[in-house]
Amino acid sequence: MVKKKIIPLALIGCMLFTGLPVNAAGIAAVEGTQARNSVTEPTDKKLESVIKVVKAKLFIPKEMIKFDYYYNTQNAYENAYWYLNWSNEDYSQNITVSVDQNDNIIRYNFNDNKDGRSTPKYLKSELQSTAMDFIKKIEPKVADKIEFVKAESYGSYSSQYVYTFRRVENKIPMPDNTVTVGVNFETGKVTSYELNWLFDVKVPSADVKISEKEASEKLGKKVTMKLSYQNAYETDDKGNTTIKAFLVYSPELSYASVDAKTGEIYTTQNQWVNTTENQSKKEAAADAAGNGGLSDEEIAKIEDLKGLISKDKAIKAVTGNSNLLLDKNAKSVSARLYKYRDYHYIREDGKSAEDKYVWNIYFSDPREVNNEKGGDTYRPHASATVDAKTGKLISFSSSVKDAYYYGLEGKELPKINYSKKQGQTILEKFLKDQIPNLFESSVLAANEGSYIIGYKGEKEIYGGYYYNYDRVHEKINYSYNGIHGAVDGITGKIYEFSYNWDENIQFESPKNIISPEKAYEYYNSMDTFGLIYEINNIHNYNGKAKVEQQAEGYSVKSEIRLVYRNDLYPPYVSPFTGKQLDYDGKEYKDNAGKYSYSDIKGHKSEKNILLLAELGVGFEGDKFLPDQAITGKELNGFLTKLNYYYDKQYELNNNNSSITRIDAAKFTVQILGYDNIAKVKGIYNTAFVDQSQITESNIGYAALAYGLNLITKNDRNEFRPNEKLTRAEAADMVLTLLSANK
């Protein structure tokens, strides 16, 4: 990457209008890496050209007087591009633009660095044309080949609606190419843009030889629907969270498609040609001095009260375990005692989780690295976690000598003495001793070669193997919990071990589930299965460059193919109903129409109700019931969905009782921080005709709530303090609250 270079605005002006050259050598300077030749090299003339391209299509305000840039050279993972940045004097606002080597604007972002939330003024439907017009201006040739997919909002803090468009060729969608545009829902201005597009690529014709039905049948023979548990979290009114494990059917293959012309089944979108793999040297263990460590005095008190094992015993639990790969040169040892509590979960008896203490232990080689020719540069390191009460090993990880070491230093490859099967036997014997109950409730889910020590021709030689075990319940995999281990094929020692095992999980019963075959019928009957164009990436790697870190000789060529595939997302089918499920285990609903009401048309609060719906706030069902009284629980739910946090001492009753208008006035004034002002006596006179119904202690709250437009009066100049706050009034109030709390 060419590092950025700060350029005064005056110089940019000269570049644009006089062509004054910039030091090309300065632009091409690279720190720490060797730049690869790419289609376009960074020159002063090219920078000038790129700036002109951007300014012809985007408005850069005159107050954006600071400019800098960098040029990202082409590498194995992305093409070369220019990154331009304009900022105002105090850097409180900035515009960033990325331009590829063919002058296509691929990214744009405007940031005003404002903290806090924004209040929507526009509906998604009102700003969709703004997004499309921006695309037409930036990339007109792209705008002619896209169709609208969806508009999303990520809450009031995001400040924008994000519109997604996908490519269409020959009236067939190409979802791997997309354009996204973010439009500020308060100002109506475009704030972000990203183009993911293959230019100058050959698109096959739309002619097919395989029907959709034939494709589905072919996939049915290849794709197996697997029954598994997925995670959802449920939080009660007290803030305690438990895990609900719900059942789903999902394709065992994460990807599968059928070629619409040949009938070939694809299980990947990445094709590798003459590839070799090179695993880089692992990073050293984390420094022992981290946040959360306890002082010696604190440790002494904890040991007296809790009966924890000493540091020496914890270290001995690792060094005395002959099954572990611990290099004799890793003689420098440090250990820290840590306390933690899992606040999210409660025990089966309903009590809060207790504090847990662990020893984090770090081993390292204190010798200086010998950089002389023929010198040994490998310095082993390891880390372990030991339960400070039981002395049981919780996790262990050790460095190994991989292809980086043997290839870079020209060392002779060691003999592999243990096979993958033998490694599994070694690990499982260890697991039965360390965590017998957990191992008994788990099943092997994956085992592959772990690290490469060298190559035989183009074939990798693995020096070790990893093994992943899933937790099982009633013979069904629960992949969120499990055990991980890795065994060294040279020594037969374990160099990685860890496990994750939650308590108090509510497992859904598999009684009366449908068959995998029936689940597949439901899966492929959904409208997400059909004909599309997709991208296949062909990776080509020069096998002679096995240990080169710059990946010279590596290239990627992308091609387009016409296929049938299922883009169901999430890919979960209910094993009871056959319907699609979301990540909470509930029937999936498209967020675009999540809240659609039949009873708000023409209501004076219609716009605000719809604006809240755009932010993901509303009521389930097709009726909002705008004139029905809102409950404390419902109003608190509105604020929770908006991530609106406030001092809990002012919280309304979180139950199904209704709220009076004066209670709502007091609540909103308090959470805005005006409680003390509202309590000042003798200064408020509202002129409401029903002011006599408002107590002296509440008159300040009523006056401020009215002044801030949180609670309004009616045409008869009545505040109606004791009437119930309606759902429509709550919608108006919440949106005003967002504006008042910026």
In this structure, is residue 292 part of a structural domain? no
Is the pLDDT at 348 greater than 80? The verdict is no
Is the pLDDT at 387 greater than 60? The verdict is yes
In this structure, is residue 432 part of a structural domain? no
* Listed residue (576, 555, 580) closest to 567, CA to CA: 580
pLDDT of residue 274: 52
Average pLDDT over residues 218-243: 86
Is the pLDDT at 433 greater than 60? The verdict is yes
pTM: 0.73
Tokens 């960074």 label which residue? 42
| pLDDT tens by residue, 117-132 | 788 999 999 999 999 9
| pLDDT tens by residue, 318-334 | 999 999 999 999 999 99
Boundary-marking domain end, from 137, 162, 196: 196
What is the residue type of 297? E
Is the pLDDT at 290 greater than 50? The verdict is no
**Which residues in 120-264 belong to E strands, given as ranges?**
146-153, 160-169, 172-184, 190-196, 225-235, 241-251, 257-259
- Residue 294 confidence class, pLDDT cut points 50, 70, 90: low
In this structure, is residue 186 part of a structural domain? yes
In this structure, is residue 624 part of a structural domain? yes
* Domain of 679, in residue numbers: 594-740
In this structure, is residue 551 part of a structural domain? no
In this structure, is residue 384 part of a structural domain? no
**Span of 269-278, 466-475, 657-666 with lowest mean pLDDT:** 269-278
Boundary-marking domain end, from 162, 196, 230: 196
- Residue 303 confidence class, pLDDT cut points 50, 70, 90: low
Residue 53 near residue 25, CB atoms below 8 Å: no
Boundary-marking domain end, from 196, 223, 252: 196
Residue 471 near residue 482, CB atoms below 8 Å: yes
Q: For residues 52 and 44, give the distance between their C-alpha atoms in angstroms, rounded to a whole number.
A: 12
Q: Choose between 304 and 130: higher pLDDT.
A: 130
pLDDT of residue 287: 36
Q: How many domains does the chain have?
A: 2
Residue 622 near residue 600, CB atoms below 8 Å: no
In this structure, is residue 518 part of a structural domain? no
In this structure, is residue 141 part of a structural domain? yes
Q: Choose between 550 and 261: higher pLDDT.
A: 261
pLDDT of residue 67: 92
Q: For residues 131 and 667, give the distance between their C-alpha atoms in angstroms, rounded to a whole number.
A: 38
What is the residue type of 686? T
CA 410 from chain centre, in angstroms, equals: 41
| pLDDT tens by residue, 37-56 | 344 567 888 899 999 999 99
